[in-house]
Amino acid sequence: MTASTFLFGANVHANGIRQHYLRYGGGRHAGRPAILLIPGITSPAVTWGFVAERFGRQFDTYVLDVRGRGLSESGPHLDYGIDACADDVNAFIAALGLTDCILIGHSMGARFAIRASVRGGGEGLRQLVLIDPPVSGPGRRPYPSGLPWYVDSIRQSLKGMDADAMRAFCPTWTEEQLRLRAEWLHTCYEPAIVRTYEGFHQDDIHADLPKLPVPALLIVAGRGGVIQPEDEEEIVRLQPSIRIARVPNAGHMIPWDDLDGFFAAFGDSLGHPLA
């Protein structure tokens, strides 16, 4: 059995808030870039642990709890817009002194990664990896998942729910995946999730694509329904240097559906094998 690469969870004060993160791999990978992973709309850092474990075999890896999720600061006093969350990412990178960093974002996290790279001018960044980001926005087709799917499951989790109850929302997931989501979903602050969902339709992330300051890889879920071939064509027009990889047999939650296919999609883009 492969030894765990998990090191610890910790908090840092950055961009004026408490940001919680999990660390894998650590200093044994000195000389290689660090990885900072930004999860999606209702995915606390701990739910990406099985992914970070493998990244941690080759890289010093950090998984961030986005504000309003997990153990990071939450509450009605915070701004949950894309700019504030992007600034959290840049402040986190600066606070931990990550001067050579690969920023990997899934779904919402990919949109935050795009905006963070543009607002920060690429400071400390080597590369972006954008995993199936929503391509909705002003005048565009809506994001395929409806807001009630998120809100209803969060409200049920606040009362307490088990894996069987979670299965109604995530029918293809394993028992272990369902248990973990049922345990942690209550930490997703509903107003933060609503604000993010609204941002999927209000924020023009496409306007940022021509301004990306570092190389980028786009990973597309073949069965996700989020990014269509015409969206890929538009993204390439806006950012001709972007590379695209597909995971044909995975839905939007790519690692949950095809973990090996997810890592294979990186190819040699990170400079070290992920197998």
pLDDT tens digits along 180-217? 999 999 999 999 999 999 999 999 999 999 999 999 99
pLDDT tens digits along 218-269? 999 999 899 999 999 999 999 999 999 999 999 999 999 999 999 999 999 9
Question: Residue 275: what pLDDT?
Answer: 63
Question: Residue 202: what pLDDT?
Answer: 98
Question: Residue 273: what pLDDT?
Answer: 83
pLDDT band (50, 70, 90) for residue 139: very high
- How many whole angstroms separate alpha carbon 51 and alpha carbon 47? 9
Tell whether the model's pLDDT for residue 174 goes beyond 90. yes
Question: Residue 27: what pLDDT?
Answer: 81
Strand, helix or coil for residue 128: strand
Question: Residue 78: what pLDDT?
Answer: 98
pLDDT band (50, 70, 90) for residue 33: very high
Q: Which residues pair with 130 in a beta bridge?
A: 105, 218
How many other CB atoms are there within 10 angstroms of residue 165's CB atom?
A: 15
Question: Residue 272: CB partners within 8 Å, gap ≥ 6?
Answer: 32, 58, 59
Among candidates 110, 6, 103, which has minimal Cα distance to 50? 6
**Long-range contacts formed by 141-147: CB under 8 A, 24+ apart:** 142/201, 143/197, 143/200, 143/201, 143/226, 144/225, 144/226, 145/252, 147/194, 147/197
Mode of pairing for the β-strands spanning 34-38 and 6-14: unpaired
Q: pTM value?
A: 0.97
- How many whole angstroms separate alpha carbon 109 and alpha carbon 102? 13
The pair of three-digit structure tokens given for residue 62, joined into one six-digit string: 């950090």
Q: Kindly give the residue spans of alpha helices, DSSP state H, lying in the chain.
A: 49-55, 82-95, 108-120, 147-159, 163-167, 175-184, 190-202, 229-238, 254-257, 259-264
Question: Residue 16: what pLDDT?
Answer: 98
Among candidates 29, 30, 65, 73, which has minimal Cα distance to 49? 65
6-140+203-264: which CATH topology? Rossmann fold (3.40.50)
- How many whole angstroms separate alpha carbon 23 and alpha carbon 252? 24
pLDDT tens digits along 121-135? 999 999 999 999 999
pLDDT tens digits along 38-73? 999 999 999 999 999 999 999 999 999 999 999 999
Enclosing H/E stretch for 246:
strand 243-247
Tell whether the model's pLDDT for residue 1 goes beyond 80. no
Strand, helix or coil for residue 242: coil
